[in-house]
Amino acid sequence: MAKERFTVLIVEDQPMNREILRNIVETEYDVLEAENGRDALALLARRKNVSAILLDIVMPVMDGYTFLKKLAESPFSSLPVIVITGDKDEATEQKALDYGAWDFVSKPYQPNILLLRLKNVIVRSQYYLISEMQYAYEHDTLTGLCNRARFFADTRKLLDSHPGIRFALMRMDIDQFHIFNSYWGEEEGNRLLRYMADELRRFAGTQEFCTYGRINADTFCLCIPYDADVIERYAEATRRGLADYNRNYLIEPSFGVYIITHPEIKIEAMFECAMLAAKECKGSFITHLRYYQPEMNEKVLREQHIVNEMQHALDAEEFVVYLQPKYNLRSETPYGAEALIRWKHPERGLVSPGEFIPVFERNGFIGKVDYYMWEKVCALLRRWIDQGVEPAPVSVNMSRVNLYNPNLIAMLTELVHRYGIPPRLLNLELTESAYMENPSVMEKAILGLQKAGFIILMDDFGSGYSSLNTLKNIPVDVLKIDMKFLSGEAAAAGRNECILASVIRMAGWLEIPVIMEGVETQNQVEFLKSIGCGYVQGYYFAKPMPVADYEALVRGVQQIPAQSLSDNHRAMTETIWSASPQINLLFNSIRQPAGIYEFDNGGFHTLRVNASFNSFFGYGESISSDLESAGSRLSTQSLQTVLAAFRKTAETRESSRCDYVQLRPDGSKISLRLDLQYWGANEKAKILFALFTDLQQPVGR
Ligand code: C2E
Ligand code: CA
Ligand code: CA
């Protein structure tokens, strides 16, 4: 193969000189010519293959100095330039060097010397280029840290040259970095990455044996001798540093550590292990640091198995419906059921959904599996109707993935239509976390489904972040309360019972039926009855069972829905939640702060307050914006006074009045008069109307 020839550009205005130079240079190189600096620059921009320049200084249009200056600012700044000078012209040489010239040749030209000098600068510049490319190839331009390839190579060397030391590979990234990026902008994202790189560099500076680098995006990696204390302290310091870095946004890192027990395996594999460990911290508010355990690998393998087998399992109908009855708590008889999936695996037996549903949710297969379950349930309902029974509703689970499917409503409608069953029999369970993830998408989907006739159950209510307050904004038909409220630690149990009672009371007033999940004991049953819970589901009454068992269980049983509200209660509800807009208007047009309270022996709870209550007390719209939550806002004496007034009206049904002092959020004190009126009662509590008068202000106008 012919040796590649480099190209030399001669910049010289005198044709005669150009001719001489060309004759010499041509013996070894390809030659290009330009008459002045400006033409040379234009030519460089066109021809990208020039390797060196021979430059005259005195030229018209653009002289050699100007050319050197412009060249230094151009993309070709690394091109070597040899300046042509007169004999012993030191002033020119000095100035040219100052402008970035590499070397000189003086007239008269000696061909050998000229060619040697050219060769030298070209070789040198090629080395320079290669090392620059190498650097760019091995380093990350944003942070200046080693990149993945270089980090892996350096770490390999580090391990090989210190066989006596046990090292650990530590991987770090930011949870949801892409969200930070889109929220604060890419520039802020880059600033954060540079901050992290600087911190990493600083820490590495304190270590005797250490490699570190940026693997990609927000992933950094570090290899140091294994010392659990050092690792923990570094992770904690980083976490704290990031928390301080942006006080308006919680930046949370995850650390995964692989202790290098087998230094001979590939660094890439070690990195994978650290990554598996880091994954375990994601979404956890407590753990930021995890060590790799061999089980993590097994988990990945298991997942892979599931993925390999899932389509076949679906085709072979290995997924089957189990039914867990729901019970009307008052009558303790079954009313409807929840369909729960089971995988009848030919080798592994009955596999529970906890093992495969999360995998399907990650890879999207859940869409198909859910639809399969819905169809099986529709077929069941059809069969029951054909057998002449009037079935109670069966609920199916709906993964959040489905809610992003624009055809969801059409698909479900087509399904119930095809099986000829009323949509109200197929209830849909949607987990609360899906709702919190994207309330507006959920609300739209829920409203659409309800319009199509389906009944929506909010599953796992209370497991996430929604407060009692969101209850009144959520357009669901039934609440399923998460079983964790029944299974709390002894210390939390009292608190949980309290929350549970409030939720059930609130839901009662909103006329939303409640199903309590995970009921396992007689005690729980008694407690739930005492707080007016409508339905329960749990091992105490029945475990999930094959369809045939369920059919046997409900055969001959009259399935009665829970009558959650007494008539009295219902009437009261209608008054208070004002099915009639007039009452609503009236309530809100009362100029003084007013509220409607539920009172039992334990105390009072706000059901509703009017607009001036909110503007007067300034507690916003919160349902707990009342006296009772204001333990700190009422002195013990005032609280006793208020309670006595409540008790009196509740017991005698007569109006009562008391004066007391209340603290406002801003710390100021106000003297208030409380007027109470008896409004009615339900099974558990009395309903009282309260009017507040500011004793410092003249009343009325
Ligand atoms: P989930 O919807 O909250 O279902 C209730 C889970 O609690 C079921 O577990 C049920 O067997 C269990 N359970 C019922 N009563 C008790 C009790 O008294 N004590 C205890 N400790 N547990 C009780 P399972 O069947 O293993 O299902 C687990 C989860 O898998 C379900 O939680 C649901 O989120 C999901 N899942 C099940 N089937 C499907 C399905 O067809 N599609 C989708 N997307 N998810 C499903
Ligand atoms: Ca469920
Ligand atoms: Ca649940």
Domain for residue 559, yes or no? no
Cβ–ligand 1 distance for 354 under 6 Å, the answer yes
Residue 456 Cα to ligand 1 middle (Å): 17
Is residue 7 packed enough to be buried (19+ CB in 10 Å), middle (13-18) or exposed (0-12)? middle
Q: Does residue 489 share a domain with residue 368?
A: yes
Domain for residue 558, yes or no? no
Q: Does residue 405 share a domain with residue 512?
A: yes
Ligand 1 atom closest to Cα of 480? 3
Q: Does residue 530 share a domain with residue 608?
A: no
Structure tokens at 623: 């349902």
Domain for residue 159, yes or no? yes
Residue 495 Cα to ligand 2 middle (Å): 24
CATH number at residue 100: 3.40.50.2300
Q: What are phi and psi of 255, to 5 degrees?
A: -120, 130
Q: How far apart are CA 543 and CA 155, in angstroms?
A: 54
DSSP assignment of 209-256, as one string? S-EEEEEETTEEEEEEE--HHHHHHHHHHHHHHHHHH-TTS---EEEE
Is residue 77 packed enough to be buried (19+ CB in 10 Å), middle (13-18) or exposed (0-12)? exposed
CB 170 within 8 A of CB 288: no
Domain for residue 333, yes or no? yes
Cβ–ligand 1 distance for 370 under 6 Å, the answer yes
Cβ–ligand 1 distance for 357 under 6 Å, the answer yes
Taken in order 445, 446, 450, 455, is the CA torsion positive or negative?
Answer: positive
Q: How far apart are CA 226 and CA 232, in angstroms?
A: 11
Question: What integer pLDDT is reported at residue 622 of this predicted model?
Answer: 36
Vertex 73: Cα angle to 68 and 79 (nearest 5): 60
Give the side-chain half-sphere CA count within 13 A for 478: 25
Q: How far apart are CA 651 and CA 262, in angstroms?
A: 77
Cβ–ligand 1 distance for 340 under 6 Å, the answer yes
Overall number of domains in the chain: 4
Domain for residue 143, yes or no? no
Residue 23 Cα to ligand 2 middle (Å): 88
Q: Does residue 522 share a domain with residue 580?
A: no
The closest of 124, 122, 106 to 114, measured between CA atoms, is 106
Alpha helix segments (H runs only) across 387-485: 408-419, 432-437, 439-451
Q: Does residue 626 share a domain with residue 526?
A: no
Q: Does residue 632 share a domain with residue 513?
A: no
Question: By alpha-carbon position, which residue is closest to atom 7 of ligand 1?
Answer: 518
- Is the omega angle on the peptide bond into residue 294 within 30 degrees of 0, that is, cis? no
Phi-psi region of 248 (alpha: psi -120 to 50; beta: other; left: phi over 0): alpha
First to last CA, the chain: 106
Question: By alpha-carbon position, which residue is closest to atom 25 of ligand 1?
Answer: 340
Structure tokens at 636: 């013990």
Domain for residue 557, yes or no? no
Q: Which domain holds residue 71?
A: 7-138
Q: How far apart are CA 502 and CA 485, in angstroms?
A: 12
Question: By alpha-carbon position, which residue is closest to atom 10 of ligand 1?
Answer: 544
Q: What are phi and psi of 84, to 5 degrees?
A: -90, 120
**Residue to probe by mutation, ligand 1, list 343, 359, 362, 397, most atoms within 8 Å of CB:** 397
- The three-class DSSP label of residue 365 is coil
Residue 352 Cα to ligand 1 middle (Å): 9
Domain for residue 330, yes or no? yes
Cβ–ligand 1 distance for 352 under 6 Å, the answer yes
Q: Does residue 593 share a domain with residue 616?
A: yes
CB 124 within 8 A of CB 51: no
DSSP assignment of 180-191, as one string? HHHHH-HHHHHH
**Residue to probe by mutation, ligand 1, list 340, 356, 536, 550, most atoms within 8 Å of CB:** 340
Cβ–ligand 1 distance for 626 under 6 Å, the answer no
Q: Does residue 628 share a domain with residue 586?
A: yes
- As a whole number of Å, the CA-based R_g of the chain is 39
Cα 3 to its chain centre, rounded Å, is 57
Of 105, 138, 171, which marks where a domain is finished?
138
CATH number at residue 405: 3.20.20.450
CATH number at residue 636: 3.30.450.20
Question: What integer pLDDT is reported at residue 497 of this predicted model?
Answer: 78
Domain for residue 199, yes or no? yes
CB 94 within 8 A of CB 62: no
Cβ–ligand 1 distance for 462 under 6 Å, the answer no
Q: Does residue 130 share a domain with residue 159?
A: no
Cβ–ligand 1 distance for 432 under 6 Å, the answer no
Cβ–ligand 1 distance for 600 under 6 Å, the answer no
Question: What integer pLDDT is reported at residue 624 of this predicted model?
Answer: 37
Cβ–ligand 1 distance for 520 under 6 Å, the answer yes
Ligand 1 atom closest to Cα of 360? 44
User: Nearest ligand, CA of residue 486?
Assistant: 1
**What one-letter code names the amino acid at 216?**
N
The closest of 694, 691, 690 to 662, measured between CA atoms, is 694
Q: Does residue 364 share a domain with residue 234?
A: no
Provide block-wise average pLDDT over 10 residues at a time, the chain (701 residues): 77 92 93 93 87 91 91 87 81 86 87 91 82 80 92 96 96 88 87 96 95 94 96 94 86 94 91 91 75 87 90 97 96 96 95 93 91 98 95 95 90 97 96 74 89 94 62 78 78 70 72 91 92 93 98 91 58 51 66 84 78 73 43 74 90 89 77 85 78 73 37
CB atoms < 10 A from the CB of 191, how many? 14
Q: Does residue 365 share a domain with residue 260?
A: no
Residue 402 Cα to ligand 2 middle (Å): 15
Q: Does residue 665 share a domain with residue 619?
A: yes
Tally of helices (H runs) and strands (E runs) in the chain: 23, 25
State how beta strands 211-216 and 167-174 pair: unpaired
Residue 320 Cα to ligand 1 middle (Å): 14
Residue 623 Cα to ligand 3 middle (Å): 26
Residue 463 Cα to ligand 1 middle (Å): 14
Of 293, 324, 355, which marks where a domain is finished?
293
Of 293, 323, 353, which marks where a domain is finished?
293
Structure tokens at 178: 């892409």
Question: What integer pLDDT is reported at residue 625 of this predicted model?
Answer: 37
pTM of the model: 0.58
Question: What integer pLDDT is reported at residue 465 of this predicted model?
Answer: 55
Residue 561 Cα to ligand 1 middle (Å): 22
Residue 338 Cα to ligand 2 middle (Å): 7
Question: What integer pLDDT is reported at residue 240 of this predicted model?
Answer: 93
Question: By alpha-carbon position, which residue is closest to atom 22 of ligand 1?
Answer: 518
Question: By alpha-carbon position, which residue is closest to atom 20 of ligand 1?
Answer: 518
